[in-house]
Amino acid sequence: MAGRKKSIGWRARVLGALLLGLLAAGAWAWWSLQHWTPDPREYPDQGAQIGAADGDVRFGTLKALGGGFVYLDASNGARGSDPRFAANLAAAREAGLKIGAVHRFDPCAMADGQSANFVVLVPRGRDLLPPAIALDALGDECGVREAAVESELMTLINQIEAHAGRPAILQVSKAFEDRYGLAGRLERNLWVVGTWARPSYAGRPWLMWTANTALSIEAADEALRWVVVRP
């Protein structure tokens, strides 16, 4: 009986050590993921997407830590807007960062109202990066047909490009691409999203990649979306 108790005790200690090792490995992986960015030797052009949810961002610190550009959340659908867009635009300019603006496409709203929302909020200027249109909301809740989504999106793209004076970049989420499959049909540069592993869901080469959707960095109190550009 004594030998059996010793055997059970030994196994319990081994199991405990294994569990502690797994917990430590998990904690290290979690910490590493929060602080991971792609190798700048492979992706020298890196930056962030910034919005009101990120709180007060220290743009000068972001630049000092290797960020060369920011894309600022701007307009959302036909009426929504990011309440910190103007302040973020001024602060990013003061820090000497390259700046772009993001419009979030609403499949349930007409293109005219959405482009008007973008035009009123985002200044016209060659100093800005190409505009980006975020495609992640689905039109299922309003029952809009796929053909109508594509038609309104193309109208919106043309209208935003007319204002910006340059082609737009399409930030396509996996859910949107799975639902509508537009990445292969729209001849615009793509921006994909996927932490750590390079995404392939778009089905063709992309220009930009949100490589970490929750990067912990000294430039902000909240986690940031870290973006790289394909060389």
The Cβ-side half-sphere exposure at 186, using a 13 Å CA radius, reads 29
Rg of the Cα trace of the chain?
22
Q: Which DSSP string corresponds to 61-90?
A: HHHHTT--EEEEEEEETTTEE-TTHHHHHH
Neighbours of 5 (CB within 10 A): 9
Residue 211 predicted with pLDDT over 60: yes
Confidence at residue 60, expressed as pLDDT on a 0 to 100 scale: 98
Q: Confirm whether pTM is higher than 0.85.
A: yes
Q: Which residue has the higher pLDDT, 182 or 26?
A: 182
Of all residues in the chain, the percent with pLDDT exceeding 90 is 82
Confidence at residue 4, expressed as pLDDT on a 0 to 100 scale: 55
Confidence at residue 18, expressed as pLDDT on a 0 to 100 scale: 52
Neighbours of 128 (CB within 10 A): 18
Residue 55 predicted with pLDDT over 90: yes
Give which of 75, 121, 132 is closest to 98, Cα–Cα: 132
Length of the chain: 231
